[in-house]
Amino acid sequence: MVKMEIEVKLKVERFNWIRKIMREIGAERKGEVEHEDIYYQHPCRDFKKTGEALRMRKTKDGKFIFTYKEAVKKPKLKVRREVEVKVEDPFKMEKIIERLGFKRITTIVKRREKWRYREATICLDEVKGLGKYVEIELMVEDLEAAEKKMRRILEKLKLDREEAITKSYLEIFLEKNQRKS
């Protein structure tokens, strides 16, 4: 069975207060990573309308991961089925994608500080051009149980669920740049 990714994010000004809370609840810091995410648009389907995403992620250590995210509609939460594969030759993979008619949309660059709290991954993301966010992610098979877990985690972190953003960084980026033009 393909697991579903359930996530919420909240825009923040600073990370110090959330780091303090995470240490208090026993979250474990897992390190920092940098991602360069190249997003693609399908030639016949509008991913903006379907909520899908196709991306190639380059990590700071030179690894490449190709990801497809399929949207599952759920109010107040971003829920997606996710399929990932490691890519040995990103240049050939990009040629395949282009020859199938996919077009590059944009590249999102972020520095991510990863934490682990129980089964949740909590990330402090600094996204180039967009600002700072706390992102909480669970990989699940049971959506209802995951919603309850997410609510408890938000409460533990003293984060307001009503301020949660369910848009992806790509969606936030595209909206911001659409307003400029």
Best CA proximity match to 83, nearest among 97, 64, 63, 69: 69
Q: Which amino acid is at 66?
A: F
| Count of CA atoms in the C-beta half-sphere (13 A) of 71 | 16
**Rounded Cα–Cα distance for residues 80 and 12 (Å):** 24
Structure tokens at 72: 């599952």
Among the options 39, 40, 133, 169, which is catalytic?
A: 39
In this structure, the dihedral spanned by the alpha carbons of residues 145, 81, 59 and 165, taken in order and rounded to 10 degrees, is: -60
- Catalytic (active site) residue 68: no
**Rounded Cα–Cα distance for residues 111 and 36 (Å):** 9
Burial bucket for residue 26 (CB in 10 Å: 0-12, 13-18, 19+): exposed
Is the Cβ–Cβ distance between 56 and 90 less than 8 Å? yes
SS3 (DSSP) at 153: helix
- Residues that are catalytic: 39
